[in-house]
Structure 1
Amino acid sequence: MTSPAHALRAMPISRRALLALAACAALPSAHAAAKDAVAAYPDRAIRMISSFAAGGTTDILARIVGRQLLPDAGQPVVVENLPGAGGTIGAAAVARAAADGYTLEVGGVSTHAMSGALYRKLPFDPVGDFEPVSMLVYATTAIAVQASSPFKDLPSLLAYAKANPGKIAYGSGGIGSINHLAIASLARTAGIELLHVPYKGGGPAVTSLLQGETQLFAGGTSLLLPHVKSGKLRLLAVTEEKRARILPDVPTVGETLKGFKVVNWYGVLGPKGLPAGIRDKLWRDIDRIMRQPDVEQQLDSMGLEYPGLSPTRFKEALVEDRERWTRTIADLGIQPE
């Protein structure tokens, strides 16, 4: 009589079963290799792409992070500016890169939450082709008028605009810019008609406000605060959900128009498929950098605030923002280029 053990040894094993056994045997070694890769990262220079021009917010943030990132590894972070097409040129370079942690992007809400609705053809999916690592900052966006303006607060401006359609002109850095979309969203929410005057950048739009060519502007406080401090401009409101830490006396738009919110953010992203271990290693060290007192002081001077979101929460926020801005841009009748 054949023993059970002998029968088991004599039983033929299918090719599929052999492959499954081999895969199971390989799992521990693959896991160990992944852990080793995370421990060794980085073992060469990291390329950090700023999707906008040198001297701008993305460039400054990339250099703040790059100077101090993973210092124990002794590897440099090379900041490279790839501006153009609303930040999509730099983003495309990151989307095409290997997902190994050696090519990262400092992008923003315009690059990843708005671009899909503003451009007909993009060489990447602004959300699906990226792995969010760290939301670096919320950039406080404020609504400003000349200091000599008769509008002392947002309700008085809205009341005048409602009674005088099209009489208030606002400047922006161009069609589809955050300056444009913030005020266009305000007008739509309030049921008022404003005249849009697009310029080639936020700087010229602020100049037009200072010179009285336009009467209203929404932009980053890094652009506006120097003129507020010199007595040339007045801030009526900020567009975020909560009052800004650096501007506690400036109300939110939502205090006048319930539910209104426009958030401008910048963050670090990698290509889709970035290993979770490397992503989390980057996030933990960026979190350390952004909480340093000297960095916080620099951010405050620029009207920026570190939100401290985990990669998972950053990804959720990105998806939410894309859905909201896609609807908003369509509702505003802005046609993609």
Structure 2
Amino acid sequence: MQLKGDRRLEAFRRMLRIRLFEEEGRRLFNRGQIPGWFHTTVGQEGAIVGASLALRDGDAMTGTHRSHGHPIAKGAHLQALMAELMGKEGGICKGRGGSMHFADRSVGIISESGIVGGGIPLATGCAFSAKVRGVDQVTLCFFGDGAVNQGTFHESLNMASLWRLPVIYLCENNGYAITTSVATSHGQPDIALRAAGYGIPGAIVDGQDVSAVYQSAAYAVTRARAGQGPTLIVANTYRFDEHNIGLAVPGEPYRPVEEVEAHKRDRDPILLYRTVLLEEGINEKTLTTIEQEVAQAVTQAVQFALASPMPRPESLPDYMFVSPIAH
């Protein structure tokens, strides 16, 4: 299972969309135009896009506090996402969700969560729903290395294994939970080995190689759709930015400056894949055209978001409750 034909260019396009969306969002946040916190996925685009491209349009996905890029990888429109970051009425959640709580049912994003590990049981429940309904929908669950030590991780994997639920648990292992390294916080730092405790496959993949992630995820999706149950995939990746933009960490840097710069220089998933595409015979002009189109789309998203109105104060109680029972 490999990325072929136009899907190769789509992988490049979606990674680039995430990168430019995040970079523009970072500028807006620093100018005070985006409220709250801002956690970027810059550097982790290969893991996100590679896994997402293995899904069908009707498959589901959950994300984390660092999930601006995940709806983009699944095909969401940039304009409503940018407006949501600004808390605007034109946002995907009417400005109610903000940076850490994107949801877009049109592309299967059922939830993102600001709680570490919060999306794992939600994904497990979604997969259980698919099994009860008798449909072949698969759920992809993203989480970070810090979430692996949460009880929700263990409880969910155990349940999914017992009931052979169609869910892929994908750990974006960027090596640090805020400022704490995997080496100093995990009794077993090889996260993929956790899968054996629940009788499910565990795989490690280079998260900076979008093709490798796609292959691993596509195999896991095929297993899940065939009723063979869950898979744990650990995509080893790296975040180029701080845990959140503007975070000031006192004392000695927890990540050596040389380490960060080396990853930016040698392990950028977009630059790595661009080189691969050129080596495979893709025309330089084709890639340049995609880069220009993505830059224009991000500019248009910002313009849309800036022009979108803020929610009216009297609308504050809207969307807070739902009554499925007709009166």
Query: Normalised by the size of structure 2, how large is the TM-score?
Result: 0.22
Structure with the higher fraction of residues in strand conformation: 1
TM-score by length of 1: 0.21
Structure showing greater Rg: 1
